Structure 1
Amino acid sequence: MQGEWAGELIGPDVWQTCRELIPAGSVFAFMAEHRQALFPAEMFTDMYPSANGRPSMPPQVLAAALVLQALSGISDFEAVQQLRCDLRWKAACGLGLYDSAFDPSLLTYFRRRLARSTDPDRIFTRVKEVIAATGVLKGRQRRSLDSTVLDDAVATQDTITQLIAAVRRVIRQVPGADQVAAAQCTGHDYTGDPGKPRIAWNDEQAREVLVDALVGDAIRLLAHLPQQPLGEQAATAVGLLALVAYQDVEPAEGSDGSDGRWRIARRTAHDRIVSCVDPEARHVHKNRTQRQDGYKAHLAVEPESGIYTAVALRPGTGADHHEAAVAEQLLNGEDGPVTVLADAAYGTGQARQRLQAAGHTLIVKPPPLRQAVPGGFTVDDFTADIVASTVTCPAGHVVVLGRPQVSGTRIAQFKKRCTSCPLRTRCTTSTTGRNVNVHPHHDLLAAARRQAATDSAWQADYRRWRPPVERGVAWLVAHGNRRLRYLGAIKNNAWLHIRAAALNLRTLVNLGLTRTGDAWTLVPAVA
């Protein structure tokens, strides 16, 4: 059952007695004055359906504390210390002067209950309702999209550390696995030594022997586990070990794997797990030179006000988590068509088709074309007739498009027509002639490239309204918030929404947010 205010404060009311000490026009003063209206009690009723007791602290107080915590970028322990010692926090959360707040674990408990509820993003949604009530976005139909990499909360593990950690996890969580490990796993003391094995790490042969032994242990453990139904945690542990055991290794040189000898692979596995502590974290490439380990935060920002209209956190790899795939989700909550501004990551043909079908106007930079010869011809110099299934090259040669590949791309093969072509040196360096890949959305992408290159109005809008989204990214990661504090996409996605809600609330307060009667309004400060 949901907790309610008892009406009794421990010590004097901080807001009433120390109002002059709380910075006017700050988020603290606003929440002290309007906390109950911002987070009404009925907003959290569904989170406490049981009649068996009630939480020790009303959810409105915990929600306010989470917002201030996300705004400050501090830990649970630090947040509770602020509630105990900082008059601003006490006033914002409605605590008395001598109130010692609560144990930090209560914030963890509240976040978990919030994440498992039917509306885990309700704090972000509530602030969006306030935004809509003020009308601050009325008539502002531009949305800038961008993404940024957030570092995970754990250290990246190498292959050896992951193998040991995954085996230990199976031993802990799968019934009977400890007995199997005692009989089958001899490469390391998995129960008594959680650290790295003691070997000469500068000895390449010693490292190879160790890797072979650990992979063999993992394979034998998986093969000899007793046949039994597994709970969620045990099944996850077994699946994680199966992934980790094979993702970084290959049969040793001169071996087909049948004799069980393994070595570190001379490549990086796709969608590689980087840590057994947080299996959802990934190697994330923001560009070709920048690589981080963690997640991608996707943002939709109204560029004039800097308000976040939507946010999402996704693992950094996989087609479903690419910017172009998430773009439509970021715009699903809009009341109608908007003008979308974004960089080339959002400019794929499929994304353009979906967004234009939804009625949106696109000012999205098209992906750059690759040139087979520096300064030479690109696919736009070829004339593709999708209806007639033909492609004409700059020299006038016409070929028929091949059948669609799995990706939908069709290939035009000029081959021997390039042998004596006078434009060959500007077209290809291949000895067999030029092949042209025609994208399934070729016409759409070609039109976008022409518009970006020739339309001065398009160029002016892109230069004016696309860069402000970088301000939203900077606000999001400021004060150490690029590094995440939690494990897994669900918890970190919940944090991202609370962080965005806190930043939106700060923006509204700076714009003069107040409550007049039963309505939220903006009253700009008088200079």
Structure 2
Amino acid sequence: MLRPDPLGPIPEDTIRIARAAFPKGNLYLKLRDELGVLYADQDFAALFPALGQPALPPWRLALVTVVQFLENLTDRQAAEQVRARLDLKYLLGLELTDPGFDFSVLSEFRARLVAGQAEHLLLDRMLERFREQGLLKRRGRQRTDSTHVLAAVRYLTRIEFVAETFRATLNALGRFAPEWLTPRLDPRWREWYDHRIESYRFPQGKDARLAYVLQVGQDGFSLLDALRSDPSVAPLLGLPAVQTLALVWSQQFIRKDGEVQWKPGTAVPPSAERPESPYDTEARFSTKRGRDWVGYKLHLTEACEPELPEVILHVHISSSCTQDIQVMPTVHDALAAKEMLPGQHLVDSGYVSGTLLVESLEQYKVEVIGPPRSATGWQQKDPNAFKPSDF
């Protein structure tokens, strides 16, 4: 239950001792003095139930979350810093004797933000304060660029991937339906799938490895058949791990006349459609400028006015296989919703197309500026052919 906490003044003792300890100022003292309190409990009211135990003021938890990002602190470290540091007590408006809070409330707060699809509030409310302070210029210059986001999974070979997927499904069923799974466990499964799948444990030799992966395929089909043929456990088919197993097996194996076959590499779906780990099924393999990774792409848009701070205005996550040009309409829509569209939008060549240049100007009155994409057609290899520079 949320009980709004009035945003009162900083306690006098906290002010007096903080000023004495930091006569030249401090990042967090300056943040509180110049920007005030960035958040209010009312910003997060929709995330809390009407009844129940009173919650800690979410405006304070939001500020601590910002501090965590700035200083790369774990939840335990952040809670300890709030108890121990004078500048953070000043930022949060706490008495010097305030004992702080249990570290677990930080993860609970983040979970509420994600469940309520309100994670954008931390950035949006901060941007509103920046705009009130004149730190953002309307219809100014902005730039967007992308970077890699690595998924928190290990890289797996194809054989490791299918075997680990089957293992993950067994573990999930062991948690949710142990009484159903136990009598159906093949004794060999404990030997093969009890530990993390790693290639050095595989049989040596091409034929032996093929036999191994075909047996893994048969094990997966046997488990899926057992689940599908038992109406009493139909809800288990909705488990994410079981759905992942079914998807991966449809992509990696063929079963014809009862015989399991391993699809050749040329027959599996492209990386944009293919999971790379059973533990993060949205992460994708991609290559850009000679760099391979499994994960996502992060598109950052920031203000870049010469006389003002460079402030991040929008964050967009896409699949690692998504082309940069595909996200630009989404970015412009998001900026329009925040009333933060630029006058000039600086991008690199990956975001540029003739259609985008025209549509951005017509729909959003945004001038997109960026270099054209490098020409890679046959004309570049023929010295007698016309090239873009000839026009």
Equivalent position to 1:241, from 242, 245, 248: 245
Instruction: Provide structure 1 residue ranges, at least 5 long, that are not aligned to the other structure.
Output: 378-422, 428-445, 455-527
Query: 2-side partners of 1:327 and 1:235: how far apart?
Result: 33
Q: What runs of 5+ residues in structure 2 fail to find an aligned partner?
A: none
Give runs of aligned pairs for residues 439-518 of structure 1, distance below 5 A.
none
> What residue number does 1:346 align with?
351
Alignment of 1:133-282 (within 5 A): 133-138=132-137, 141-157=140-156, 158-159=160-161, 160-173=163-176, 178-179=181-182, 181-182=184-185, 185=186, 188-189=189-190, 193-196=194-197, 199-225=201-227, 226-227=230-231, 234-247=238-251, 249-250=252-253, 257-263=256-262, 265-267=264-266, 269-271=270-272, 272-282=274-284
Which residue pairs with 2:17 in the alignment? 17
After the TM superposition, which residues 290-329 of structure 1 pair with which residues of structure 2 at under 5 Å, given as runs? 290-304=291-305, 305-318=309-322, 322-324=326-328, 326-329=330-333
The answer to whether the 8 A contact 1:167-1:190 is kept is: no
Paired with 1:23 and 1:190, the residues of 2 have a C-alpha distance of 66
Q: Which moved more, 1:329-338 or 1:161-170?
A: 329-338
SS at match of 1:92: helix
Aligned to 2:43: 43
Name the CA shift for 1:83/1:204 in 2 (closer, same or farther; >3 Å): farther
Residue in 2 that maps onto 1:129: 128
Distance 2:208 2:343 in 1: 61
SS of match in other structure, 2:231: coil
1:370 aligns with 2:362: no
Structure-1 separation of matches of 2:325 and 2:376: 24
After superposition, the Cα gap between the structure-2 partners of 1:214 and 1:2, relative to the gap in structure 1 and judged at 3 Å, is: same
Partners of 1:273 and 1:282 within 8 A in 2? yes
CA contact (8 A) 1:187 1:213 kept: no
TM-aligned CA distance change 1:190 to 1:328, over 3 Å? farther
Q: CA deviation at 1:257?
A: 4.2
Give the helix-richer structure, 1 or 2: 2
Moved more, 288-297 or 311-320: 311-320
CA distance in 1, matches of 2:109, 2:132: 27
Query: How far apart are 1:273 and its partner, in Å?
Result: 1.6
Deviations 1:288-310 (A, max 9, x none): 41122222111111122311121
Give per-residue Cα distances to partners, 1:160-195, cap 9 Å, x unaligned: 32332234324433687515742xx56522898143
Structure 1 residue 204, shift from structure 2 partner: 3.5
Highest CA radius of gyration, 1 or 2? Answer: 1
Q: 1:374 to 1:331 in 2, by over 3 A?
A: same
2:320 counterpart letter in structure 1: G
Structure 1 residues 168 and 49 mapped into 2: Cα distance closer, same or farther (>3 Å)?
closer
Distance 1:191 1:212 in 2: 13
Amino acid at match of 1:28: Y
CA distance in 1, matches of 2:234, 2:358: 44
**1:65, 1:79 within 8 Å by CA — same for their partners in 2?**
yes
Paired amino acid for 2:128: E
User: Which secondary structure does the structure 1 equivalent of 2:368 belong to?
Assistant: strand
Partner of 1:398: none
Shift of 1:313: 1.7
Q: Cα–Cα, structure 1 residues 323 and 125, in superposed 2: closer, same or farther, change >3 Å?
A: same
Q: Which amino acid aligns with 1:213?
A: Q
Report how many aligned residue pairs link the two structures: 374
- In 2, Cα distance between equivalents of 1:370 and 1:132: 43
Whole-Å separation in 2 of the counterparts to 1:79 and 1:87: 13
Aligned position for 1:79: 78
- Equivalent positions of 1:373-384 (< 5 A) are 374-376=380-382
Asked whether the 8 Å contact 2:323–2:350 carries over to 1, the reply is no
- The offset of 1:93, in angstroms, is 2.4
CA distance in 1, matches of 2:325, 2:238: 27
Contact map agreement 1:282 1:315 (CA 8 A) in 2: yes
Letter in 2 for 1:299: L
Task: Tell me the secondary structure at the aligned position of residue 18 of structure 1.
Answer: helix
Q: Distance in 2 between matches of 1:194 and 1:342?
A: 47
Percent of aligned pairs with the same residue? 23
Give the TM-score normalised by the residue count of structure 1.
Answer: 0.61
Partner Cα separation in structure 2 for residue 54 and residue 87 of structure 1: 26
CA contact (8 A) 2:347 2:369 kept: yes
What is the Cα deviation at residue 218 of structure 1? Answer: 1.2
Separation in 1 of the partners of 2:19 and 2:191?
Answer: 59
Instruction: Specify the alignment match of 2:66 in structure 1.
Output: 67
